[in-house]
Structure 1
Amino acid sequence: MTAMTRGRALVVFAVFALGYFLSSLVRGVTATLAPALTQEFALSSSQLGLLGGAYFLGFAMLQLPLGNWLDRFGPRRVLSFSLAAAALSCIAFAMADGFVSLLLARFICGVGVSACLIAPLTGARLWLQGSQQQSANAWMLMVGSLGLLTATLPVQWALPLYGWRSLFLVLALFFALTMLGTAWQVPTVQTPAASSRRKNLFTSYAPIFANRYFRRMAWIGFVNYGVLVAVQTLWAGPWMTAVAGYSATQAARGLFAMNLTMLFVFWFWGMANPRLHRAGLSAERIILRGLPFGFIALAAVAWLGPRAGWEAFAIYCALSSVLALTHPAIGMAFVAHEAGRAISAFNLLLFAGVFTTQWCVGAALDRLQAAHWPVVDAYRAVFAVLAMACCLSYLWLLQGLSAERPVAANA
């Protein structure tokens, strides 16, 4: 592991942060654009869920190759190519003339931004110490919350003036500028030995998926984290309009307030993590103690029904924020030269979970309403199932986890 000076680290963080800000903005904008896209293209709930999920499917499909590429070529080269694809996808989305072209552009966007978080996390594992990694992860997620925040009210205000197509053209420009900043400022890493390059994709991931600790944490990524991201970036908005009775503008304000809450929550984690680390509270211990509050809050949303507005979702997201510690926990459980693959494998499961949740929620809502369920009851039933799934995955994590926890690698 090569240390980095504080000034250099701040510059690199700023470049990484801009890329993750943009990726979070395009990730969360679906919830704000849902009324406009539904009206313009006559989308059903299933199509809306598939459109939101296509981003995460593209994101997930590239995670395993990304981990290999990051360990072989380093964050700079991988992220530069990734951002170029993101810029092109935004242009394609702006030019879309139907559901299929929207879907394809959204899928390519997921592929394009797939390295915007994993590249910084891999860089942190290479260049920072343990407590610094947890803080850097929290600050990065705070920047992501700022991107999600920007995807709400600011986008809602801009839509009548410029339209959603112009918005994506501007995003394409900023992705291109971030690509140039990455190529200019992010340092290179040492190329691995030739023998490590000859390993095929699945062989290189064998030690990752064989790790018992990884397998226990995997369900938390797929279910709990997947549900959190799916709700935060898509289904909280339709709930507010269909169940809580919000207008489109009120829903945008609710999403803004929810993501503003998360910005401060991740700011808190960034400040608290070094102190918690010095106090001997590991990421795993915080996850184990804090995670139940999240799915209990989600169950409360289902129980409250029309009384659950943006405040209930903000509480759910805030209480689930301990999930942000899963990435550094996974990264530190492996040696440095395996960190990229470990984090990317976890990301694969996470975003496969987001895709599955977003699509299945939309499909379930359509099926229940076709069976003459009232809209409010359909939403409440689906969200209750999500809370139950999160509870079951947590119970799986608890089963024998402490005995299987590997010693975190410091190399």
Structure 2
Amino acid sequence: MAGIVTLAFAYVLSQFYRTFLAVLTPVLSAELDATKGDLSAASGAFFLSFALAQFAIGVWLDRYGPKRTTAAMLAACGGGGALLFAAASTPWMVTVAMGLIGFGCAPVLMAAVFIFARIYPPARFAVLTSWMVAFGTAGNVIGASPLANAAEAFGWRLVMAGLGLITLLAAVAIFALVRDPEKPAEMQAGSTGLSGYVELLRLKVLWPIIPLAAIAYAPSVGIRGLWAGPYLADLYGADTILIGEVTLFMALSMVAGAFVYGPLDQIFKTRKWVAVGGGLVSLLSISWLALNPVTSLTLATIVLVLIGISGGSYGLIMAHARAFLPVHLIGRGVTLMNFFTIGGVGLMQFATGGVVTASHVPGAPEAAYVMLFAFYAAMLASALLIYLFARDARPDKGVIAL
């Protein structure tokens, strides 16, 4: 239990790092001459390095266990990247720092998910994973108005340096307290290494799940972590404090969403249709913003909250895929799905940066955000359509034989 608590604390840091740029947008633009494209690239670097790390992490979790894998990566890259961010003098240094931080944070949630998959009943997987995500999403809360106030009071460089030291301490705690689960009998003779991913990708039952895994999380974390700041500043004249307050509400809604999704598969006895319902709420909310980019600040905040709540289906979708994973490929299976989830966010960060830049109209800032939200809506609608062909996995069936 102490190890899970330590991983949960580290996951708070991971969630913070993936969303805090929205709040620092004004100060980074002023001090480093960082453009929206620069910040989009920096945010994308976090998610792409995070995603690409999943392949190695999956092998290392199965071979070496979560303790050593997580502690080493979080200390070297997570803590080191945060300290580099604190010393950044140009936008490219911010991008490099974010890439390092993404690599360092990449194993944290997967270590907990790996432990859940190995030692708990499959029927509890969705709620455990969802609630782990919900607890960690407190990092979104810290990365909203608390970060804005701390940056105003102490300066963003000092705040980031302090977070780097806290990240190093978290890595030490993980090494001291996390206990590796025993390997199943199927793995005692050795590991299939990266070839295990080929075996997983041959499972056609996963194919319709993958697009929604890649897109469902992207709008909420992309808007909260990157676009909420520019959107509120450009269309509502919001300053750092106001951006922090609005994104705080969205961050709290993301916490609530993960908690709400957790038990729904048990209540409704389906994973597929709960994910479809939540996806439709997200789609309608994003589409409303595309049609109404400028409205009252209160109404815009309410819609952002709806996007945050409905985008919390990560644990549910992961549980849907988990039901079809062979036991000897649990580590690689969960990291493969996480690769698509985080990789989808990273690609969407880069893509949305291009959409906003290409859609810019001098004197009409709302034009770029119409296209931004329309792009999110189109991608989510496509993923949901493909997901309709997915095979359901009832939570009371455990791991499904193929």
Return the TM-score normalized by structure 2.
Answer: 0.91
Q: Which amino acid aligns with 1:314?
A: V
Question: Distance between the aligned counterparts of 1:126 and 1:194, measured in 2?
Answer: 15
Q: Which amino acid aligns with 1:375?
A: P
- In the superposition, relative to structure 1, how do residues 24 and 126 fare at CA in structure 2: closer, same or farther (>3 Å)? same
Question: What's the offset of the Cα at 1:97?
Answer: 1.7
Pick from 251, 254, 273 the counterpart of residue 259 of structure 1: 251
Secondary structure in structure 2 of the residue aligned to 1:43: coil
Q: Does 1:135 align with 2:143?
A: no
Question: What's the offset of the Cα at 1:59?
Answer: 0.3
Residue equivalent to 2:20: 29
Q: Does 1:101 align with 2:93?
A: yes
Deviations 1:44-97 (A, max 9, x none): 221111011111111011011111111111111111112112111111111122
Residue equivalent to 1:15: 6
Question: What's the offset of the Cα at 1:403?
Answer: 8.0
Residue equivalent to 1:182: 174
- In the superposition, relative to structure 1, how do residues 266 and 352 fare at CA in structure 2: closer, same or farther (>3 Å)? closer
Which shifted more, 165-174 or 279-288? 279-288
Residue equivalent to 1:4: none
Maintained 8 Å contact 2:145/2:248: yes
Deviations 1:336-373 (A, max 9, x none): 3312111111111122211111122122222222x647
Q: Which amino acid aligns with 1:235?
A: W
Residue equivalent to 2:367: 377
Secondary structure in structure 2 of the residue aligned to 1:402: coil
Q: Which amino acid aligns with 1:285?
A: W
Question: Distance between the aligned counterparts of 1:404 and 1:13, measured in 2?
Answer: 26
- In the superposition, relative to structure 1, how do residues 156 and 45 fare at CA in structure 2: closer, same or farther (>3 Å)? same
Q: Does 1:46 align with 2:65?
A: no
Q: Which amino acid aligns with 2:283?
A: F
Maintained 8 Å contact 2:257/2:311: no
Maintained 8 Å contact 2:73/2:107: yes
Secondary structure in structure 2 of the residue aligned to 1:88: helix
Pick from 206, 209, 221 the counterpart of residue 201 of structure 2: 209
What pairs with 1:237-276 in structure 2 (closer than 5 Å)?
Answer: 237-270=229-262, 272-273=263-264, 276=265
Question: Distance between the aligned counterparts of 1:91 and 1:230, measured in 2?
Answer: 24
Question: Distance between the aligned counterparts of 1:363 and 1:326, measured in 2?
Answer: 28
Question: Distance between the aligned counterparts of 2:71 and 2:319, measured in 1?
Answer: 23
Pick from 196, 219, 228 the counterpart of residue 220 of structure 2: 228
What pairs with 1:6-405 in structure 2 (closer than 5 Å)?
Answer: 9=1, 11-84=2-75, 85-190=77-182, 193=187, 196-197=190-191, 199-201=192-194, 203-270=195-262, 272-273=263-264, 276-277=265-266, 279=267, 281-307=269-295, 309-369=300-360, 372=362, 374-399=364-389, 401-402=390-391
Question: What's the offset of the Cα at 1:115?
Answer: 0.6
Q: How many residues align?
A: 394
Structure 2's unaligned 5+ residue stretches are: none
Question: What's the offset of the Cα at 1:398?
Answer: 0.9
Question: Distance between the aligned counterparts of 1:404 and 1:51, measured in 2?
Answer: 37
Q: Which amino acid aligns with 1:143?
A: F
Question: What's the offset of the Cα at 1:167?
Answer: 1.3
Secondary structure in structure 1 of the residue aligned to 2:180: coil
Question: What's the offset of the Cα at 1:280?
Answer: 5.5
Return the TM-score normalized by structure 1.
Answer: 0.90
Question: What's the offset of the Cα at 1:153?
Answer: 0.6
Question: Distance between the aligned counterparts of 1:153 and 1:341, measured in 2?
Answer: 37
Question: Distance between the aligned counterparts of 1:133 and 1:358, measured in 2?
Answer: 29
Structure 1's unaligned 5+ residue stretches are: 1-8
Maintained 8 Å contact 1:287/1:323: no
Question: Distance between the aligned counterparts of 2:371 and 2:352, measured in 1?
Answer: 10
Maintained 8 Å contact 1:73/1:189: no
Maintained 8 Å contact 2:270/2:393: no
Question: Distance between the aligned counterparts of 2:188 and 2:363, measured in 1?
Answer: 60
- In the superposition, relative to structure 1, how do residues 214 and 228 fare at CA in structure 2: closer, same or farther (>3 Å)? farther
- In the superposition, relative to structure 1, how do residues 161 and 246 fare at CA in structure 2: closer, same or farther (>3 Å)? closer
Question: Distance between the aligned counterparts of 1:299 and 1:214, measured in 2?
Answer: 28
Maintained 8 Å contact 1:240/1:310: no
Question: Distance between the aligned counterparts of 1:395 and 1:188, measured in 2?
Answer: 39
Maintained 8 Å contact 1:335/1:410: no
Maintained 8 Å contact 1:212/1:404: no
Question: Distance between the aligned counterparts of 1:212 and 1:330, measured in 2?
Answer: 11
Secondary structure in structure 1 of the residue aligned to 2:313: helix
Q: Which amino acid aligns with 1:112?
A: G
Maintained 8 Å contact 2:322/2:334: yes
Deviations 1:101-144 (A, max 9, x none): 11111101100000111111111101111233222212211122
- In the superposition, relative to structure 1, how do residues 211 and 41 fare at CA in structure 2: closer, same or farther (>3 Å)? same
Question: Distance between the aligned counterparts of 2:64 and 2:341, measured in 1?
Answer: 24
- In the superposition, relative to structure 1, how do residues 280 and 153 fare at CA in structure 2: closer, same or farther (>3 Å)? closer
Q: Which amino acid aligns with 1:66?
A: I
Q: Which amino acid aligns with 1:15?
A: T
Question: Distance between the aligned counterparts of 1:239 and 1:213, measured in 2?
Answer: 39
Deviations 1:255-312 (A, max 9, x none): 0111122223333344x35xx52x4613223113332121111101111211152221
Maintained 8 Å contact 2:213/2:337: yes
